[in-house]
């Protein structure tokens, strides 16, 4: 049984950030993930690096300040994965927040960034409709324009892990499920299983960190040694992908549709990503199996209705939806409140045992700093000086296929991806390494190359590294 100084359980963005911080600070660390890295909540976000402009109304100024500074940091560190974009916030006569209020909010947003954001502006109606094709003009009083980042959430998580693995004392295992936990006085024994082979083994952790996102309560409830009480208020968020041909935007839009009850203050982002446009998100209680969560018909209808309200001449309907996805936000419950829209996105750290840490909540943009309290304490436990700034360094391994410069991988590219980017299944390769979520997207990007022909021609190469057969290629929709 191998003993590690620290084991991080959970390979989403928070676990990846803690893994990198520990590795760069010289702590021997193992990262364990039940599925593929970044295959759950961390690839199902609204794909923004942002300060959270709507959190200003909740008075979460400290969170917005931190998130804005982290957003601007990652725009510099990962320009191949994240880019600044001008977000348009159209304002209509009957809006809950008139243009003067938007003006004040955007000034405060830039102020909290220490004026590191590109400066906001207020545009007149005639300017807005020239910039935003198809936008409803009736009642438009203008728009606030501010700057946040758009990004590939899965690839940032993956590249953070790749960077940690450059350190000789760092190791990461995907498709490794922790099936039993044995807390001891000074260590924890983790009983693990390779999900793909069913091989079981054990590892010993002198310190263990659980970064399980929405799975926190369910997992820890099954570990008797922790006496865990539920802390999460899980929130489901659904998104649509629509072809840019059907929704030809050059700038992201922030929609604030009229709603009632829980939807009254909902903000919906419409964000162009090359040949696709992302629309989302919703915020409803997450009650399904988190591993297989999907948008409901009512959520899809809600997003399409909002789109048609703002873009009435485009006639968008279900036939224009390329694909959909849903994720679960691991919000930390505040007292007995159940209002997910008002629940803070701040993270919280719990310590059920002296050598056990649990981190929950938070938002993607602040992942680098969320776990620093834990990593600092662990470094000191092992007699290491802690350098909180070491994670300001650029990442050292770029993905072969990039979101803003998509290319058809050569055989050599595929071999590098399989050897260095750690996919284990065909789905890992498609969705998180190549950025392909549907056949229609493949066809739009590669009209001259058949999906089936391409992967069948590389089948022998791929079989050396991942689980794949011809039937799986044919079944992909």
* pLDDT tens by residue, 354-376: 999 999 999 999 999 999 999 99
What's the half-sphere exposure (Cβ side, CA atoms, 13 Å) at 29?
29
Q: DSSP letter at 467?
A: B
- Does residue 65 form part of some domain? no
CATH of the domain at 95: 3.30.9.10
Mean pLDDT of the region 144-161: 98
Angle at alpha carbon of residue 44, lines to 39 and 50, rounded to 5°: 125
pLDDT at 260: 45
- What pLDDT band is residue 292 in, cutting at 50, 70 and 90? confident
pLDDT at 261: 45
Q: How many domains does the chain have?
A: 3
Q: Per DSSP, which regions of 24-64 are E strands?
A: 29-32, 48-49
- What pLDDT band is residue 341 in, cutting at 50, 70 and 90? low
Query: Above 90 in pLDDT, residue 338?
Result: no
- 48-62, 107-121, 133-147, 181-195: least confidently modelled range: 48-62
pLDDT at 342: 53
Tokens of 410: 């050569």
SS3 250: coil
Q: Which residue has the tokens 């048609």?
A: 308
**Cα dist. 78→16, 92, 206, 380, 397 in Å?**
16, 36, 33, 30, 11
Give the count of beta carbons closer than 10 Å to the beta carbon of residue 354.
Answer: 10
Closest CA to 439 of 330, 323, 314: 323
Q: Are 249 and 143 in a shared domain?
A: yes
Mean pLDDT of the chain: 94
Q: Are 139 and 241 in a shared domain?
A: yes
Q: Alpha helix locations (H) across 8-60?
A: 13-24
Sign of CA dihedral 272, 409, 80, 436: positive
Q: Per DSSP, which regions of 281-423 are E strands?
A: 284-285, 321-332, 347-353, 356-361
Q: Are 38 and 11 in a shared domain?
A: yes
Q: Are 368 and 436 in a shared domain?
A: no
Q: DSSP letter at 311?
A: S
CATH of the domain at 371: 3.50.50.60
Q: Which residue has the tokens 């102020």?
A: 111
Tell the burial category of 210 from Cβ atoms under 10 Å away from its Cβ (0-12, 13-18, 19+). buried
Q: Are 181 and 217 in a shared domain?
A: yes
Please check whether residue 168 is in contact with residue 10, taking contact to mean a CB–CB distance below 8 angstroms: no
Cα end-to-end distance, the chain, whole Å: 42
| Domain interval for residue 432 | 411-475
Tokens of 165: 């693995």
Give the count of beta carbons closer than 10 Å to the beta carbon of residue 476.
Answer: 16
Summarised one tens digit per residue, pLDDT across range 385-416 is: 999 999 999 999 999 999 998 899 999 999 99
Q: Are 419 and 453 in a shared domain?
A: yes
- What pLDDT band is residue 288 in, cutting at 50, 70 and 90? confident
Q: Are 298 and 202 in a shared domain?
A: no
- Does residue 439 form part of some domain? yes
Q: Are 113 and 197 in a shared domain?
A: no
Q: Per DSSP, which regions of 152-229 are E strands?
A: 170-173, 176-183, 188-194, 200-210
pLDDT at 257: 87
Query: Above 70 in pLDDT, residue 343?
Result: no
- Burial profile 406-438: b = 16 or more Cβ within 10 angstroms, e = fewer: beebeeeebbebbeebbbbbbbbbbbbbbbbbb
Distance CA 162, CA 23 (A): 11
What are φ and ψ of residue 475, in 5° steps?
Answer: -70, -20
pLDDT at 440: 86
Tokens of 79: 């320009």
Q: Are 134 and 242 in a shared domain?
A: yes
Mean pLDDT of the region 14-37: 98
Strands 232-243 and 29-32: unpaired
Which of 331, 358, 380 is a domain's end point?
331
Please check whether residue 64 is in contact with residue 52, taking contact to mean a CB–CB distance below 8 angstroms: yes
Q: Are 314 and 176 in a shared domain?
A: no
Summarised one tens digit per residue, pLDDT across range 247-265 is: 999 999 999 987 544 445 6
pLDDT at 116: 97
Q: Are 239 and 320 in a shared domain?
A: yes
Global confidence as pTM: 0.95
Angle at alpha carbon of residue 423, lines to 204 and 20, rounded to 5°: 50
Strands 121-123 and 232-243: unpaired
- What pLDDT band is residue 219 in, cutting at 50, 70 and 90? very high
Q: Are 144 and 170 in a shared domain?
A: no
Closest CA to 167 of 395, 428, 418, 421: 395
Strands 29-32 and 170-173: parallel
Query: Above 60 in pLDDT, residue 297?
Result: yes
């Amino acid at each position: 049984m191998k003993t590690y100084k620290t084991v991080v359980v959970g390979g989403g963005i928070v676990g990846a950030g803690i893994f990198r911080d520990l590795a760069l600070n010289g702590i021997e660390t193992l990262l364990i993930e039940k599925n593929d890295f970044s295959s759950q909540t961390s690839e199902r976000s609204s794909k923004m690096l942002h300060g959270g402009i709507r959190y200003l109304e909740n008075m979460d100024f400290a969170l917005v300040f931190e998130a804005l500074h982290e957003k601007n940091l990652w725009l510099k560190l990962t320009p191949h994965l994240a880019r600044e974009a001008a977000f348009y916030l159209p304002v209509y006569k009957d809006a809950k927040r008139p243009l003067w209020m938007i003006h004040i909010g955007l000034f405060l947003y830039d102020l909290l960034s220490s004026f590191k954001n590109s400066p906001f502006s207020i545009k007149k109606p005639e300017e807005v409709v020239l910039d935003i094709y198809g936008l409803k003009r009736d009642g438009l009083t203008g728009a606030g324009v501010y700057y946040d980042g758009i990004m590939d959430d899965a690839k940032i998580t993956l590249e953070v892990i790749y960077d940690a693995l450059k350190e000789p004392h760092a190791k990461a295992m995907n498709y490794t499920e922790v099936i039993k936990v044995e807390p001891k006085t000074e260590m924890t024994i983790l009983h693990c299983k390779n999900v793909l082979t069913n091989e079981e083994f054990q590892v010993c952790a002198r310190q263990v960190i659980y970064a399980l996102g929405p799975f926190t309560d369910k997992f820890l409830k099954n570990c008797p040694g922790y006496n865990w009480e539920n802390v999460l208020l899980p929130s489901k968020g659904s998104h649509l992908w629509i072809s840019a041909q059907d929704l030809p935007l050059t700038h992201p839009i922030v929609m604030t549709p009229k709603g009632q009850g829980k939807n009254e203050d909902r903000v919906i982002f419409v964000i162009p990503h090359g040949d696709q446009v992302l629309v989302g998100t919703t915020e409803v209680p997450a009650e399904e199996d988190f591993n297989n969560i999907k948008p409901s018909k009512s959520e899809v209808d809600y997003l399409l209705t909002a789109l048609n309200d703002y873009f009435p001449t485009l006639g968008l309907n279900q036939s224009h939806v390329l694909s959909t996805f849903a994720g679960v936000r691991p919000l930390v419950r505040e007292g007995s409140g159940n209002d997910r829209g008002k629940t803070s996105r701040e993270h919280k750290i719990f310590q059920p045992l002296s050598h056990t840490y649990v981190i929950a909540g938070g938002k993607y943009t602040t992942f680098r700093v969320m776990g620093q309290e834990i990593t600092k304490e662990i470094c000191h436990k092992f007699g290491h000086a802690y350098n909180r700034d070491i994670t300001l360094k650029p990442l050292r391994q770029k993905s072969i296929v990039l979101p803003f410069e998509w290319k058809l991988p050569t055989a050599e590219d595929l071999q590098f991806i399989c050897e260095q980017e750690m996919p284990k299944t065909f789905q890992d390769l498609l969705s998180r390494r190549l950025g392909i979520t549907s056949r229609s997207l493949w066809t739009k990007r590669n009209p001259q190359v058949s999906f089936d022909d391409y992967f069948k021609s590389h089948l022998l190469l791929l079989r050396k590294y991942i689980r794949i057969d011809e039937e799986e290629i044919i079944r992909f929709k």
